[in-house]
Amino acid sequence: MNRHLFTTAVVATCTLFLVGCGSATASSTERAAPATVHQSPSVSGQESPAPTSGAVMTPGMIMPDGSTMGPMTVPPASPIPPSSLPPSSAPRATTTSHAATQAAAGPPAAAQMVCSAEIHATITKVLALTATPTSSSSWENQLYTCTYRLPMGKFVISVKQSASATAAADYARQLRGDNIDATKLNGLTATAFETPAGKVFLVKDDFTLTVDATTLPKVFGRQQQKRVDFAYEIASDILGCWTDD
């Protein structure tokens, strides 16, 4: 064989041999290469291991499925209804009764009128006194009381203010029951009565008037005034003032 042809054949054979080895090596290398699992980087740029059982889970931790755990949120607490609170903690409604409002406002003008200068003048004139009598007043439990100090004894006028006309009528019935010897009086109001001892009672709207002359003598003064008649006359004068108002 020609040397040139022989040399060419040898070179070709070696080339084929080398190419085959390279392909075999590449295939062998490809089969032997281990599989690589890519994990998402953590917040700091470094890979974090998947949480194991019992580990504390924190924001940014890589979960087994490759996701990143987000921040944890706590839902707001629901308000506790007042009905479930203990009596000391539940809010209390503030209420003001009609009687409490009246007490805070003080005695009404109609009640104070029984202790006015006008009634002082009337008493002085009816009894023909030489001087105007002194008096003192009080306001308690919706009852206004005026006590006159006359030369012959004490003379007391009181006015009870009720929440309504109906309540005033109920109060008058109670007074009537306490004074079993009382008799009906005509010429004043629909509800008016007196006792033989010298008390006169009458109801006008939500007011109940009591004129008490029982501590005075049966007959007294320069004009020999009977205490029963005196109590009636003063009650009539007060009613006249109320009616004019």
Q: Which amino acid is at 158?
A: S
Please tell me the distance from the alpha carbon of residue 44 to that of residue 191, in angstroms, as a whole number.
Answer: 96
pLDDT per position as a tens digit, 22-73: 444 444 344 444 444 444 444 444 454 555 555 556 666 676 676 666 666 5
Give the pLDDT confidence score for residue 79 in this predicted structure. 60
As separate numbers, helices (DSSP H) first and strands (DSSP E) second, the chain gives 6, 9
Give the pLDDT confidence score for residue 244 in this predicted structure. 78
Instruction: Annotate 91-150 with DSSP letters as a single string.
Output: -------HHHHHHHH-S-HHHHGGGSHHHHHHHHHHTT-SSPPEEEEEEETTEEEEEEEE
Topology of 105-244 in CATH? Protein Transport Mog1p; Chain A (3.40.1000)
Alpha carbon 152 to chain centroid distance? 53
What is this structure's pTM?
A: 0.60
Where do we find the tokens 């087994």? 64
pLDDT per position as a tens digit, 165-222: 999 999 999 999 999 999 999 999 999 999 999 999 999 999 999 999 999 999 998 8
Give the pLDDT confidence score for residue 213 in this predicted structure. 98
Give the pLDDT confidence score for residue 221 in this predicted structure. 84
pLDDT per position as a tens digit, 111-170: 999 999 999 999 999 999 999 999 999 999 999 999 999 999 999 999 999 999 999 999
Give the pLDDT confidence score for residue 54 in this predicted structure. 52
Q: Distance between terminal CA atoms of the chain? A: 158
Q: Where are the domains of the chain?
A: 105-244
